[in-house]
Structure 1
Amino acid sequence: MTDLLEKLRPYLEMARDWAVTPAAWGQAVALVVAVLGARMATRALRPILLRVLTPAEGARGVIALGQRQLARLMPLLAPLLIAGFVAVAEEVIRGAFGTGGILGFAKRFMLFLVVRSFVRDVLRDNFLRTYGRFFILPIAAVYALGLLPVVSEYLSQLKVPLGNLSFDLLWLVKFGLFGGLIFWLGRWSDNRSQAYIEGQTDLRPATRQLALKASVVAIYGVAFLILMNVMGINLTALAVIGGALGVGIGFGLQQIASNFISGIILLLEGQATVGDYVELDGGEQGTIVKMTMRSIILETFDGKWIVVPNEHFITTRVVNYSDQGSANRLEAEFSVSYDTDINLVPAIIEAAVAKHPKVLDSPAPPDCELRGFGESGIDFAVEFWVSGLDDGPNKYVSDVLFLIWNALKDNGIEIPYPHRVIEIKGQGGAPLAG
């Protein structure tokens, strides 16, 4: 301990001598005046800014949105004003005494507090808060200590080998810093563009899906190119490397490429889109709930999801029952007793079925047909058109059968049930009397 104190003694004596100089006292006084002035300015400005930045109740639009976003920055007001006042005081002291180290450190420290408050109190996006905590705050802390040039020089000398290539840690830090920010901006732009495109109800669903996929590719492609330019990566060399990699792994990605191209063809032709009810060549049926770059997701009426590669919609037979609201023909079978005047049945049934609110008059009204003469009764069937499928929330055939039952009962027409005659023969072959 004695040896350590002896080594530090010259520095302690230097600090003591400097502390009694006019420059040191001037910086201390200037720092106190700057902090007090900034706090007074904060108390005066905060109520005015809150009043200006508070939009009218229920107000919407760009101006109201801008006011709300600026109001979220109010926690930064006090440290920003202190940093500003200290920066002015630093310039004054440097002009008077030629030094201002204390004020410079105080300014950098207040800027660190601004960044810390911004990350902790202003940012709401989980990705941005994590990004700020692990990238922005450490850089701000190093800057506040005045070590940013030293740390940057040290990181630039640490090389990381990667085969025949190598890069320094400073380049890696820059890549994480700029890459995270650029791709967050890409994701934000993607979300906004998707919300705008999905709101264009005048466009066909297939066109909207194609526009969504095109916007995703364009936004992230531009983000990638910007990142490469910022990092100083030669795009020509990247193209050569990409071509070599493409040749090497192309055979392994044939199916993915095929599904990608098939998805674009489906969106362009509009043969199937979200909301359609389809039946695949293998017998699977379901409603299309999502179309991705690689596959189409079907949801069955029992809640199961079926992931179907896009290529199957191009190379195999697919039955589309919906085609965005087209009508489907269904039929309900029934029988009447042989005692019925069958000439009256068609008019009665057609009138009853037409009362159903979902039964269409076009392309054809309900049509009751005689199908045959059965063992127990006369067989009829009524054909009718609806916009939808008889499954899930829609029970068209069930509803129509209820209407048929009630119509037949109201008109005194009997619905038959099987009759059987049993003969029991005794000894000698004569029937036994029961």
Structure 2
Amino acid sequence: MIEQLQQYAMDGWDIAKAWLLSPAAWSQFGLLVAAYVAAVLVNKHVTPQIERLLTPKDDDTSIIAKGRRFVLMFLPLVLPLAAYAFTAIGESVTRSLFGSGAVIAFGKRVFLFLAIRAFARDMLSDPFLRFLGRYVLIPAGAAYALGLWPFVTEKLESTVVPLGNLSFDLLWLSKFIVVGGVIFWFGRWSNEQSTQILKQQEDMRPATRQLAIKAAEIAIFGAAFLVLMNIMGVSLTSLAVLGGAVGVGIGFGLQQIASNFISGIILLLEGQATVGDYVELDGGEAGTIVRMTMRVTILETFDGRWIVVPNEHFITTRVVNYSDQGSANRYEVEFSVSYDTDINKVPDIIEAAVAKHPAVLTEPDAPDCELRGFGDSGVDFAVEFWVNGIDDGRNKYTSQIRFIVWNALKDAGIEIPYPHRVVEFRGAVPDLPKTS
């Protein structure tokens, strides 16, 4: 290895001496400087104009505005790419005049490396893509700039990794990781854009909207997988063994995952429970559905906790949906009045008072005060009322109606009884000591 490094160093020194002593090399150095200066001037005058023309308004969220912002991300590449283009022109000139252009070709590769470095360092925001840029793209650009790319690719291609009956070289694996990462990143970005567009379709039922989102996600990533297999030259028929293994796995260890997946599709198709509904399951889990995936449904309780419920539970157990599509819910408040009260007046007083609450509905029924029974201490009533929403969390309907009932009875002079007890002594009453 030391001898190889020494040989590379000697070859590099011979090349450097040839460049330093050659008039053609000095002319190429001059062209490199001129190309860089021209690129700086272009960047100085053209970049502000492009930025001014493409910058949308801050409150513009249209697809065109997003596309313009996406194009603006590439402005840092104007300088190195312009230098690369001018250097390529200079290379063609020197090769036509002197028959050689090794120096300017090296400079062209350096400018391309600077563009790759700026792209990987300043423009990639996704963590996975930044990882690929830092540890794959930049080293590959450096190897290309130094003229070592053929040597690197040859070494990678000659290193074969056996995997049972299959084998692949490191060059193919590197291509697979890079191409697969880019394709699936683009698929994830496309899925995010389609999700935002579908969520804005308020005319669609929530369940239908969720189903469309999931269908788009499956279609996008399915297409990404097929494109990746086609680019890498993998025949789909060769995946038959993998499909059989997956089938065996589903048969033995993945029944629950498959069951939850199918249950998620059924939930989205039927729309009996969707995002925003408040549900209660047989197992006691209760909360608002904040997210539905193909495997689980996430409920958020009013105290901020998230409950992850497998989709299968929504199919195989009893589910109470309190707010399907914002439907109204009925609640009641019980109270008692004294036996001295004219109970015929109580329903009108309470119903009129409760109807003034802004959240109480008149459909499907207006407030209804009913006589429930004759208790030990007073006459028992209950007022029923309908509201949109659940009486929990930020809604305190029952508590507010109790205040209204209390104030209405007080204003009407109606007594709310408290328990009375009659104590009977049999026999002589005991003498009680007198207190001074």
After TM superposition, the score normalised by the length of structure 2 is 0.90
* 1:320, distance to aligned residue in structure 2 (A): 1.5
Unpaired segments ≥5 residues, structure 1 = none
Q: Out of 148-157 and 225-234, give the one that drifted further.
A: 148-157
Corresponding position of 2:319? 318
Question: Contact 1:423/1:431 (CA < 8 Å) preserved in 2?
Answer: no
Q: Out of 245-254 and 50-59, give the one that drifted further.
A: 50-59
Note closer, same or farther for the CA distance 1:92–1:373 as it changes in structure 2 (3 Å cut).
same
Question: Contact 1:424/1:432 (CA < 8 Å) preserved in 2?
Answer: no
Note closer, same or farther for the CA distance 1:13–1:292 as it changes in structure 2 (3 Å cut).
closer
Note closer, same or farther for the CA distance 1:46–1:389 as it changes in structure 2 (3 Å cut).
closer
Corresponding position of 2:352? 351
Q: Out of 92-101 and 383-392, give the one that drifted further.
A: 383-392
Between the aligned partners of 2:237 and 2:229, the Cα distance in structure 1 is 11
Between the aligned partners of 2:188 and 2:15, the Cα distance in structure 1 is 54
Note closer, same or farther for the CA distance 1:245–1:125 as it changes in structure 2 (3 Å cut).
closer
Corresponding position of 1:339? 340
Question: Contact 1:83/1:110 (CA < 8 Å) preserved in 2?
Answer: yes
Corresponding position of 1:283? 284
Task: Let me know the Cα RMSD of the aligned residues.
Answer: 2.7
Question: Contact 2:19/2:26 (CA < 8 Å) preserved in 1?
Answer: no
Corresponding position of 1:213? 214
Paired letter, 2:255 = Q
Between the aligned partners of 1:8 and 1:173, the Cα distance in structure 2 is 28
The C-alpha deviation readout for 1:38-88, integer Å capped at 9, x for no partner, is 334444444444444445676665555454444443332222222222211
Note closer, same or farther for the CA distance 1:409–1:158 as it changes in structure 2 (3 Å cut).
same
Question: Contact 1:93/1:100 (CA < 8 Å) preserved in 2?
Answer: yes
Unpaired segments ≥5 residues, structure 2 = none
Corresponding position of 2:181? 180
Describe how 1:11-410 pairs up with structure 2 within 5 A.
16=17, 19-55=20-56, 61=62, 64-410=65-411
Question: Contact 2:19/2:103 (CA < 8 Å) preserved in 1?
Answer: no
* 1:19, distance to aligned residue in structure 2 (A): 4.1
Note closer, same or farther for the CA distance 1:320–1:53 as it changes in structure 2 (3 Å cut).
closer
Note closer, same or farther for the CA distance 1:13–1:84 as it changes in structure 2 (3 Å cut).
closer
Between the aligned partners of 2:373 and 2:11, the Cα distance in structure 1 is 118
Paired letter, 1:338 = Y
Same amino acid, percent of matched pairs: 63
Question: Contact 1:286/1:301 (CA < 8 Å) preserved in 2?
Answer: yes
Secondary structure at the residue paired with 1:36?
helix
Paired letter, 2:164 = G
Secondary structure at the residue paired with 2:326?
coil
Question: Contact 1:159/1:166 (CA < 8 Å) preserved in 2?
Answer: yes
* 1:233, distance to aligned residue in structure 2 (A): 0.6
After TM superposition, the score normalised by the length of structure 1 is 0.90
* 1:27, distance to aligned residue in structure 2 (A): 2.3
Q: Out of 416-425 and 384-393, give the one that drifted further.
A: 416-425
Paired letter, 2:97 = A
Question: Contact 2:291/2:299 (CA < 8 Å) preserved in 1?
Answer: yes
Question: Contact 1:116/1:137 (CA < 8 Å) preserved in 2?
Answer: yes
Note closer, same or farther for the CA distance 1:44–1:379 as it changes in structure 2 (3 Å cut).
closer
